[in-house]
Structure 1
Amino acid sequence: MRPVWVTLDEDDWRERAVRHSERAEPFVAGRRERRARGEKHPVDDFLFEYYGYSPARLSRWHPGAGVLLGGDASDYAALGAYTTYAAGVGADLNRLAGRREGMEWIRGLLTMTATRPARTDCFGLHEWAMVYRQPPGEVRHDWPLRLGAGGTDAVVEAHQLRCTHIDAYRFFTPPAAPLNSLTPTRATQRTLEQPGCLHANMDLYKWASKLAPYGDSDLLLDCFALARDVRELDMRAAPYDLSGLGYEPVRIETADGKAEYVRLQRAHAERAAVLRARLLADYEHVLSFG
């Protein structure tokens, strides 16, 4: 079946663009203000720095593949990823050919991840493994360790590391990497990634951003909102003391802390499952135009 094209009148699409920008504003305002002051925030700035998708790009609404903008859409026509069709301005689908292989790989990753049960036995120890036996002055974040260096190392040594995510595992310190029960690599990513993993669920935002400008802009913001909440849990369960920023630690070194972490992890995984299904449908939609 050939994909259906839709043309939006100018009042309609401009209203959608404004709504999108207004919804994004709470996510991006703090980032702009902190950059102007030369400050950084370990939770709210992470998504912009790690994924490399700027506040300006997050704030821009895109109509998506197969949707044309009627009326005066010269501001979109001037963007490199857009072109002018007979019925209006839209994303340039000729550019999809060069991105198809990457999109198919991501679709496969999302599909395989969704088929697996969620594992909730890692307790967020990946962040602890990233500072395990780290020399003084080389810790990843400029925040004090709640238990000190020795106490942090002792927590790692008292647990079995079970990280399944390559982009967490690759930051383990050299002494921590052999302690992990698995050795994730880029080649095994589609085999190991599972839907309970905080990083896999945070990455839904990355995969949504890879669809721009062809994907669903509302879905992109939904994935960002989840990723931001996941990052908060990630850092609350980390070995750092972020109480100065108002974050109460999830003390995964205790039985009660582990139970709290698993409860929150499962809640995020439930949200992620819905977004992963929507994202898969969006990839199928975009690829149908390729």
Structure 2
Amino acid sequence: MRNYIVFGRRSTAQLTFALGMALVVVFSLIPAVGILVISFTDIRSLPFLPVHWVGLENYRTFFSAAQLGYNTVALTNTFVFAFAVTLFQNSLALLIAVLLNQRLKGRNFARAVVFLPTILGVTVIGLIFTLIFNPAAGPAQQLWAAFGSSSAFFGDPNLAMALVIFVQVWSGIGVAVVIYLAGLQAIPQELYEVADIDGATSGQKLRNVTIPLLAPAVTANTLLCIIGSLQSYQLIYVLTGPINPATQVLSLAIFTQGFGGAQGGTVLSQGYAAAISMVQFVIVAIISLASLAYLRRRETAL
């Protein structure tokens, strides 16, 4: 009877794993292979057009002198956006998580408020901040006017990227806080009690107890933020449009090239968009793997 139960549980686990792998293959692996194949063609959105195998032509176009300026700006904005979002989101999330982990009155309500932006859709978030930073009569413009100045906000090339980064951090900080809170609550309280007996200050406890034991949560949050921000374009599209050079990122270039609004003198082509997406995949993979290796070494060192 015991063997039958064990066998049944093992069969259930194997079946669940097989179903999970089937979902990954159908919805991730097959589309990824399809994008790779498409990147070697000149497929376009217009129906009944013949599709030709063009080999590396789309990749040569991406790295050509004609596209160099546009793609350089997109790559630079992508790295600036990803670095800033990762830095500010993780720093603020860790600070908020440490505060909300204390025994404070109303902390459950505060946690709900912090997590609230996560459940809002991109369109809703975009609408909220478009109204707030409306250059005609938004609250931000009225505050700006109180100091005798004015701004186009998302239309200002010197301010647009900073505002988009702010909105992205605001919208994603809830998940990071939850992960840090889970890590903080897994730290045994006895360690803090021992540190109190030894006369450790709050800063020393944070540096010598909290941070080392929170390293796995830091790794998870950092990787999620890096991967997500390197591929993010939805908020940028809603807030600043598809053709704003100040906020043009690689993911947005893929979207505009594949679905409309492409810049750089290139004819709309899903084949070319697929080639850009493969370049992005390589960039994201290299940065993610390098970050993972570094963070794992830091975990061991701590």
Shorter chain as normaliser: what TM range? Answer: under 0.3
Q: Judging by fraction of residues, say which structure has more strand.
A: 1
Q: Scaled by the length of structure 2, what TM-score is found?
A: 0.27
Q: Scaled by the length of structure 1, what TM-score is found?
A: 0.28
Q: Judging by fraction of residues, say which structure has more helix.
A: 2
Computing the radius of gyration over CA atoms, which structure comes out larger, 1 or 2? 2
